[in-house]
A and B are shown apart, each in its own frame.
Chain A
């Protein structure tokens, strides 16, 4: 548990850094973000919103930077992320709230599938080192190097434009004309069929990393003495491989932090290609319409989500590896 407490403290510091960066960045850059936003909103904003924006970015309030910083923290802790310019008069929190779950479910499911499948395949290839299966590696490398959005475009072209197996990108996250959100089979079916291609993209693009990592670790673990002993004792081969695989999977779990950042980045782009109505599309729209409060809010939410995913991976690690629990 000591390990988990330490990780928790680390994530708290990371979250603190992310929030601070988010606050100080617009203040460090030349130019006035508020002027840009008022200009791009084109007179849509009423006086109160302009005041709120000025307060949020500390323009013309006469407060010191320090006071503004604490004010920012106060607002944040109340869940107030400001007003969105492009989705005016919605607040940033509302806008993000309506998009977040689409992304969390899509990316979460795809990542879990990719991790489990990739680890299994990697274990088998590592076990059968030197066999034909090794030729999977160069192919996996190629898939790993393909940008997510390119793979997404190709899949969209093949399966939606040409073959019509999956719905086209224009329909967003589900068929909005026919169904309402809720626990009805029509909506669920529509949502799943719209999520299938984006999920497939994420799985295909991210699986290679898990395969290669697991395979290399498996090759190393197979050389350990305990594996030799297990085999010498005459245990069935499947048992021996299971022992080796259980130990080989640990580094994969601990490298989750590194991987999730790539998966998140890829998912943002995937959403753009499929016009999936999640956080990624929202962020890119916000960038194009220079909606700074929304950009900042989304960056914070993504950071927090990644930290939460990491904490989850750490917990799993502690549950799996008894050595981490022994430290007093």
Chain B
């Protein structure tokens, strides 16, 4: 896997796997139920309660372990739904063009401009209490505001792809539209789709935690890091010195987000090699046989040592006085 050789991607992947582990086994590992009094109020971190206790005497460590699953499920489910929507709408708009394109592009642009979080708060405030706790519904509602960005990128990529010769050839040889889309166009969009999926998942995660934090959804079911942040905020955890109570879920959310963003960087550099040189430190460049820093106008191209003999003109680097 070439993509794994990138250090950013590797770190992102390891972090993500760690969180998936937390999501799968978190509630099994949690020593106590998240909303049961198991200690004195405001205990600091200690042997029995690793992260201390809340104002009510709940165990923060258990709350933390339990909080991973619903965040992961809702973010990824929402990412999947939004990505499917964006592929359907973006590719259709790009491939068919004309009136359909105008309409779909406009739809995407409207959803891009509408302020998403206030919109979601409004939608959630009208939901009947019984439905607010549904994981699938939550994911679907969030994905409603998350597909537009991906659709726009996919549309422009499809536009450039459908003018290529191999697509023309497929059309002339009598392939049907759906076959051209599924077997000629979409496979070439995979990196873009992957990148848009990660971006959307990241967005959904932030949005879900934010919605829980402001209390626009059912705060306690499903239990999540957002619930912890909600209670920590309303019980004034920071002022009472129980900083682990809000720091743990906050840092976890930030790290999960970072891991997704790092993976996205990796894919970006995979698609656009120009960005790749950025991953090289000066020491890395020297080790690769390029003693000088890349400068204006030129991107260093690195080849494995054995391949250097094949190159007729060596890679030129403009001299720069350092």
Contact = CB atoms under 8 A, between A and B. Distances in A.
Interface of A: 10-11, 13-14, 17-18, 21-22, 25-26, 29-31, 33, 129-131, 134, 137-138, 141-142, 144-150, 153-154, 156-157, 161, 216, 219-220, 222-223, 227-228, 231, 240, 257-258, 261, 264-265, 268-269, 272-273, 283-284, 287-288, 290, 292, 295-296, 298-299, 302-303, 306-307, 310
A302 B115 contact: yes
B293 A258 contact: no
Contacts of A216: 268, 275
A271 to B, nearest CB: 10
Interface of A is mostly: helix
21 contacts: A10-B106, A14-B114, A29-B128, A31-B126, A129-B277, A130-B294, A137-B278, A141-B261, A145-B254, A147-B209, A147-B254, A150-B250, A153-B233, A153-B250, A219-B275, A258-B149, A265-B207, A269-B210, A287-B214, A292-B125, A303-B115
B179 interface: no
A18 B114 contact: yes
A8 B233 CA distance: 41
B121 interface: yes
Interface string B199-216: 000100011011001111
A146 B121 contact: no
A23 B109 CA distance: 21
Closest 8 CB pairs of A and B: A145-B257, A265-B117, A150-B250, A29-B126, A228-B297, A146-B254, A157-B238, A145-B258
B233 A149 contact: yes
Contacts of B282: 130-131
Measured as residues with beta carbon below 8 angstroms from the partner, the interface class of chain B is 35 or more
Nearest to A152: B233
A203 to B, nearest CB: 17
A13 B110 contact: yes
Contact of B278 (A219, A269, A306): A219
A288 B215 contact: yes
A272 B253 CA distance: 19
B274 A261 contact: no
A302 B120 CA distance: 13
B287 interface: no
Given A138-B8, A228-B296, A257 B113 contact: yes
Given A219-B275, A268-B118, A290 B214 contact: no
B9 to A, nearest CB: 12
B24 interface: no
Nearest to A241: B296
B274 A142 contact: no
Given A22-B122, A153-B233, A284-B214, A261 B116 contact: yes
Nearest to B276: A219
